[in-house]
Amino acid sequence: MSSRGKVAVAGVAAAIVLFWAVGFWAGLLVLIGVPAAAYLLLDSSQRRRVRGLSRKQLGG
């Protein structure tokens, strides 16, 4: 299995555990809020670089 596949499987497993442990809406808030907060913590030059990358380049 590729490393991207392993990350995808781990993400789905984490989402299921999170939804079960804290409820659907709180789990959804965490799954959306954490990446959004991480993006907002980047400075403007880092954000520009991330926006310039294609989705295929982000994975590996």
Tokens of 38: 């991480």
40, 24 Cβ separation under 8 angstroms: no
Strand, helix or coil for residue 1: coil
Structural domain count of the chain: 1
pLDDT over threshold 90, residue 55: no
Q: Bigger pLDDT: 59 or 15?
A: 15
pLDDT over threshold 60, residue 60: no
Give the CA distances from residue 12 to residues 3, 7, 36, 49, 60, in Å, rounded to whole numbers and listed in that order: 14, 9, 18, 27, 19
pLDDT tens for each residue of 43-53: 999 988 888 87
List the domain range (segments joined by +) for residue 29: 3-59
